[in-house]
Amino acid sequence: MRFATKAIRIGQNPESEHRSVTYPLYQTSTFAWDQIDEEPKVAYSRVNNPNRLVLEEVLASMENGTHCTCFSSGMAAVVAALSLLEAGDHVLVASDIYGGTHRYIADILPRQGISYAVFDACSPESIGATVTPKTKMVVFESPTNPLLRVCDIRAVVAEAQKHGLITVFDNTFASPALQRPLDLGCDIVIHSTTKYITGHSDVIGGALITANPAYGEAAAEWVKNTGASPSPFDAWLCLRGLKTLALRMERHSQNAMRIAEWLTQQEDVKAVYYPGLADNPFHQVAKSQMDGFSGMLSFEFGTVEMAKTAAMNTKIFLLAESLGGVESLIGYPTLMSHGCMTEEERVERGVHPNLLRLSVGIEDADDLIEDLGNAFAVARQSARVAAVKV
Ligand SMILES: Cc1ncc(COP(=O)(O)O)c(C=O)c1O
């Protein structure tokens, strides 16, 4: 079965009683046993539920894995992957990993006796320089937030394998429609299904997918023991969203490309970060491992004031955190996604206060460009008024 068909048909044959075409919602905490000495396949929804099981089957197949466990959030999936570490272990984390993942590794893991070091995934040889005899795992992602840097996944895996490390890859920004890291050699893929996978900004969820039975079983045990399971309705909503993932990603990518090209022609815009642009430094590596460039892009204005004024004056783009939904969002990383970092840390990562991030939705690209154009005109006008006052 090919990718777009998988989401719609895997594990979703009509049930026998009513022949419901849509997989029914099993909104129940517990299931009746037929026999006292025979536990049913699903007994209690913290441990398992039919909606979660079908979602897991579909996600495993979309990532070309064999095991998937779904969680109540992307962070819960991150924590489940990190639970493979034990006291005394050391983990390498990519310098521009999602902030919440970094925070967990930096704040919580040391309390459990697990140390870490930071490496640059765009320079895979930096693994050799940071690895220690205790290093057990590498955690990385691509494209990264907010500058959309793209690392060579195969090269990071090759370097990690030289040292016998488990590779954990966060595929949230690309989704399996555009990038399948298990095929590129990664051991474990994690997702915030909150983003592109559900795609409608109505669920918080996560998933861990692998083709390694030991890691897959450990994740299933972890969700059972920690209770970080998704509700049946969230799993149902996620599966409904997933059915249109292939279509959505095509449109997100097309719209983002149109906007990126338009941005490069705007005189107030200093830099555009989008790996789909032919002159982007990551364009070739992105082409070699992705089937599209996704809907995320960032750009820098000439001044901080213009960036802030433009962000507050779009009408279709909503000023909000998160990404990957059908609706377009505009974000100000300095105060939003990267707001908990110090200014020094932000500057070190290239997150300047004139930077805006877009999660480009699936609306009509002409409307989106018009909306940005109008907001830019307001920003330009207010810059002119400010200059006159001075
Ligand atoms: C790349 C990435 N990974 C993980 C997460 C955490 O996901 P959640 O918010 O669903 O816990 C996020 C959230 O923004 C993210 O962007």
Ligand 1 contact, 99 CB (< 6 A): no
- Please tell me the residue having the least CA distance from ligand 1 atom 2: 98
Ligand 1 contact, 73 CB (< 6 A): yes
Q: Which of the residues 89, 96, 152, 170 is marked catalytic?
A: 170
Cα dihedral across residues 42, 44, 46, 49: positive or negative: positive
Catalytic annotation present for 195 = yes
pLDDT score recorded for residue 303 = 95
Ligand 1 contact, 171 CB (< 6 A): no
> pLDDT tens digits, residue range 340-361?
889 998 998 899 999 999 999 9
Residue-averaged pLDDT of the chain: 97
Nearest atom within ligand 1 for CA of residue 97: 1
Q: Delimit the domains of the chain by residue range.
A: 3-242, 245-389
> pLDDT tens digits, residue range 278-332?
999 999 999 999 999 999 999 999 999 999 999 999 999 999 999 999 999 999 9
Domains 3-242 and 245-389 share a fold: no
> pLDDT tens digits, residue range 14-54?
988 899 999 999 999 999 999 999 999 999 999 999 999 99
pLDDT score recorded for residue 205 = 98
* Mean pLDDT in residue range 228-233: 98
Which of 75, 93, 294 gets mutated to test ligand 1 (max ligand atoms within 8 A of its CB)?
75
Q: Distance, CA 11 to ligand 1 centroid (Å)?
A: 27
How far lies 191's CA from each of 76, 98, 133, 366, in Å? 10, 11, 29, 31
Residue 382's identity, in one-letter code, is S
Catalytic annotation present for 371 = no
Q: What string of DSSP letters covers 136-178? A: EEEEEESS-TTT-----HHHHHHHHHHTTPEEEEE-TTT-TTT
- Which CATH fold would you assign to the domain 3-242? Aspartate Aminotransferase; domain 2 (3.40.640)
- Please tell me the residue having the least CA distance from ligand 1 atom 9: 74
Q: Which residue has the tokens 């893991």?
A: 109
Does the reported pTM lie above 0.85?
Answer: yes
Catalytic annotation present for 19 = no
Q: Which residue has the tokens 């004031």?
A: 305
- In the sheet with 355-359, reading across from the earlier edge strand, the strands are 269-273, 296-301, 355-359, 329-331, 318-319
Ligand 1 contact, 194 CB (< 6 A): yes
* Mean pLDDT in residue range 369-381: 97
* Mean pLDDT in residue range 187-197: 98
pLDDT score recorded for residue 16 = 85
Q: Distance, CA 74 to ligand 1 centroid (Å)?
A: 5
* Mean pLDDT in residue range 266-277: 97
- Which CATH fold would you assign to the domain 245-389? Aspartate Aminotransferase, domain 1 (3.90.1150)
- Please tell me the residue having the least CA distance from ligand 1 atom 14: 322
Q: Which of the residues 52, 195, 243, 357 is marked catalytic?
A: 195
Nearest by Cα to 274 from 110, 105, 144, 102: 144
User: How many residues appear in the chain?
Assistant: 390
> pLDDT tens digits, residue range 92-133?
999 999 999 999 999 999 999 999 999 999 999 999 999 999
